[in-house]
Structure 1
Amino acid sequence: MTGALRRDGTGGVPDQDTPPSGPGPEDEAERVARSALTQILEPGDEKGGRWLRELGAQGLLALLMSDACGKGALPGATERRVTGLRARAAGVVPGQRLAAIRALGGRFVMPGDTEWPTQLDDLGDARPVGLWVRGRSDLRTWALRSVAVVGARACTQYGAHMSAVLATGLAERGWVVVSGAAFGVDGAAHRGALAAGGATVAVLACGVDVVYPPGHTELIKRIVQQGLVVGELPPGDHPTPSRFVLRNRVIAALTRGTVVVEAEYRSGSLVTARRAQQLGRLTIGVPGPVTSGLSAGVHELLRGGAVLVTDAAEVVELVGDMGELAPERTGPVLPRDLLDPRSRRVLEALPARRAVSCGEAARCAGTTDDEALGRLYELHSLGFVERCTEGWRLTSRAIRGSNARRGDA
């Protein structure tokens, strides 16, 4: 598997018996506070992010859990909003979900940790409060060289095939495939990476201990073993439609680029792609049949400035380092393509269905009789023409080659 990630620490799936390097000496109280806030604030809550930035995690949590949190306590929050947040805070036991994730062998990663992917900071106040993670590999290291592959849940066979092939090719080239573990394109992308022995990250819209969709129980279990499962919501929390949409901003920010394989005009995958554009990440699309509604959203994305790709090599050329170029695309080289221009001109002067004299060939080629004769003997030795009673004619091989050229044109 040339260029593939290896288990020896030089890339790819790290040895599952060796956990990632631990964080530095963070304040445990800050970790407890942030983990508790993930139970109170919804993902992507920009006002909550502003309060967190201004008050600090411990200050915000203490305020939300105190009787002092009334009208006007939180800038920009209505009384109804404050009441709702306080109701949530009343049911929170700080540290309880931390104990739950540790019992699962997982962890809570927060800003300031060595494992925190700093590209998530591009989301500003909408960045995650923290991330719940299952899997032994280092999220920050993996995210540095990652690509999102997303698309329709109800994808076609073409969409599933392209997703799996792209993911396999990316994994073989040492890239981490990030997706949302949904049915369709997401699942095919994860399976493609896993099949190549590569690295994949599933970003969930629920707790990392909740299997959703239930039909992906075995897939998510494999991702935990071979890759990483990540989420903003604490263990036990369930997905909702809005959480899926908000989850997509994490996928967009975490990766160098987002590849959309199939998507209708109204698709969560397009939300991911457009957020990637806003963040300055590469937005990439795989074209499909123009008659397919499942490709209509991708084609609109391409019209809006996304880059068209057809395979993993082209994706890597976009997101990779200098020199990681896709191979040049060329059609087949025909034998007559190797002829010098004057010999080719004499060959093209011979009609397909009859023989001609050397003089007629010379006139049609715009050259002298002597030049034409020399070229005809050269072409004869190469198998393009043959002598006959009437003069010179094309061989069946030359006729087939001529038909092939016309077909390509």
Structure 2
Amino acid sequence: MSDRGEDTLVPDPVRAAYAYLGAVTERPTAQLWDLVDAVGAVEAAHRIRAGQVGDALVSQTEARRSRVRPDDLLGEAAEVGARLLVPGDPGWPAAALDPLDRPRRRRGSGRGAVETALRPLGLWWRGPADPTTVVHRSVAVVGTRAPTPYGRAVTADVTSGVAAEGFTVVSGGAFGIDAAAHRAVLGAGGTTIAVLAGGVDRLYPRGNEGLLSAVAESGAVVSDQPPGTGVTRYRFLDRNRLIAALSRATVVVEAAARSGALSTAAWATVLDRPVGAVPGPVTSVASTGCHLLVRDGRAVLVGRTADVVELAGDMGETTPPPTGHASSWDDLDDVTRRVLEALPTTGGAVPAEVAASAGVPPSTARAVLGRLLVDGAVLRGPSGWRRSGHTGRQLTLPVD
């Protein structure tokens, strides 16, 4: 961060309070965030430590409230060059994380259903990458821990390609596709972020310690778990929501029918972020999950860098407008144009209605809507989807 940005960092007592609040429960809870929103982080931490809270929070915090030492956590982070990023800091990626605060209920049914969760109370950030910059232009690449040579090759090709286009690649630091993605980006001189299931001072898996150290030196290793925290199965699942939230799109390269990568894809869907899946041989078990995503309309098929840039990039990015054109809609691809024109300017429409009006598959409509939501060209309200009418760019409907 710049010196100017550091002048506006939240005060140390507030940071220490967030460090305490982020560690006193296993996960962020509705009751905890309600208290923070009502009285502020410092007072919330004081009340929890004193046991002066409602029964639900007493139950959630009883095991840890007297054990958590926020100054020790901040010190342990500093020893490995990490810092705690909290709400109110200049680099806090609010736009990326706020959608995690949607109503906490089970969405979907059967395969792909996920339990929604609240945004983290802080991110332990180890590395020089600027959070605001990398989240604005990022793509998650995830997949199996036991990839085929084909999966490794596709991962290396796609991730080095999007890195060359200026995208940050977000993954989970695990063996297999995750590691292949991180290595390819580092080799291309790009920026990559590894989101861990444990503390940023415990680089895991140990077999990837050298790789994760290199990621931390040029990009960032990130976690919402405090320093000293080990990994568990449910923490791996919890961190998947952060991989999806910190990315504008998620790409699954290879995944079995039951896979953590599919959990990340499900989170992306909940957050209205587009999902892409790389096809593989129909005989390959490693590609079964990708084929299911495409078959069920939960992902669009991608196979090369241009597909991923189109999925995660700004509108019309794959076809830059020629000089002299006043509108960034002039050279949009046909599908994006049709989806935009199918949206009302008032009220709202559900994705199925948009898909029918635009004449595109529902999965394509959802992917385009997710990308346009991140770009600011559309809004999603109680009545459904509609055009926003404005963005940071000049956007006007083309006239035939």
- 1:3-402 matched pairs, under 5 angstroms: 21-22=5-6, 24-69=8-53, 73-74=54-55, 77=56, 82-83=58-59, 85-118=61-94, 119-124=96-101, 126-305=118-297, 306-325=299-318
Q: Offset at 1:51? A: 3.6
Q: Offset at 1:23? A: 5.8
Q: Offset at 1:298? A: 0.9
Larger of the two Rg values belongs to structure? 1
Does structure 1 retain, via aligned residues, the 8 Å contact 2:9–2:90? Answer: no
Q: Offset at 1:279? A: 0.8
Q: Offset at 1:46? A: 3.9
What does residue 394 of structure 1 align with? Answer: none
Change (3 A) 1:147 1:25: closer
Does structure 2 retain, via aligned residues, the 8 Å contact 1:262–1:294? Answer: yes
Q: Offset at 1:43? A: 3.2
The percent identity for this pair of structures is 45
Q: Structure 1 residue runs of 4+, over 6 Å off?
A: none
What is the letter of the counterpart of residue 203 of structure 1? V
Question: 1:52-94 deviations in whole A, cap 9, x for unaligned?
Answer: 333432232212211435xxx14xx2xxx73462221111123
In 1: Cα distance, 2:7 partner to 2:247 partner: 22
Does structure 1 retain, via aligned residues, the 8 Å contact 2:251–2:277? Answer: yes
Q: Offset at 1:137? A: 2.2
Change (3 A) 1:23 1:146: farther
In 1: Cα distance, 2:3 partner to 2:123 partner: 17
Question: 1:111-147 deviations in whole A, cap 9, x for unaligned?
Answer: 1111111211111161011000111221111110000
Where structure 1 has 5 or more consecutive residues not aligned to the other structure, the ranges are 1-13, 328-409
- TM-score w.r.t. the length of structure 2 is 0.72
In 2: Cα distance, 1:23 partner to 1:240 partner: 37
In 2: Cα distance, 1:295 partner to 1:23 partner: 49
What does residue 6 of structure 1 align with? Answer: none
What is the letter of the counterpart of residue 123 of structure 1? L
Helix, strand or coil at the partner of 1:284: strand
RMSD after superposition: 2.1
**Which is further off, 255-264 or 47-56?**
47-56
In 2: Cα distance, 1:157 partner to 1:46 partner: 44
Does structure 2 retain, via aligned residues, the 8 Å contact 1:97–1:235? Answer: yes
What is the letter of the counterpart of residue 239 of structure 1? V
Does structure 1 retain, via aligned residues, the 8 Å contact 2:124–2:224? Answer: yes
- TM-score w.r.t. the length of structure 1 is 0.70
Where structure 2 has 5 or more consecutive residues not aligned to the other structure, the ranges are 102-116, 321-400
Change (3 A) 1:168 1:22: same
Does structure 1 retain, via aligned residues, the 8 Å contact 2:129–2:191? Answer: no
In 2: Cα distance, 1:170 partner to 1:263 partner: 21
Q: Offset at 1:160? A: 1.6
Change (3 A) 1:49 1:268: farther
Does structure 2 retain, via aligned residues, the 8 Å contact 1:314–1:326? Answer: no
Change (3 A) 1:84 1:112: closer
Change (3 A) 1:23 1:318: farther
Paired positions, count: 303
In 2: Cα distance, 1:293 partner to 1:46 partner: 39
Does structure 1 retain, via aligned residues, the 8 Å contact 2:9–2:88? Answer: no
What is the letter of the counterpart of residue 79 of structure 2? A
In 2: Cα distance, 1:282 partner to 1:236 partner: 34
Q: Offset at 1:326? A: 7.5
Question: 1:221-247 deviations in whole A, cap 9, x for unaligned?
Answer: 100111111100111111110011010
Question: 1:314-354 deviations in whole A, cap 9, x for unaligned?
Answer: 11022212332279xxxxxxxxxxxxxxxxxxxxxxxxxxx
What is the letter of the counterpart of residue 245 of structure 2? A
Q: Offset at 1:45? A: 3.5
Helix, strand or coil at the partner of 2:70: coil
Change (3 A) 1:20 1:182: farther
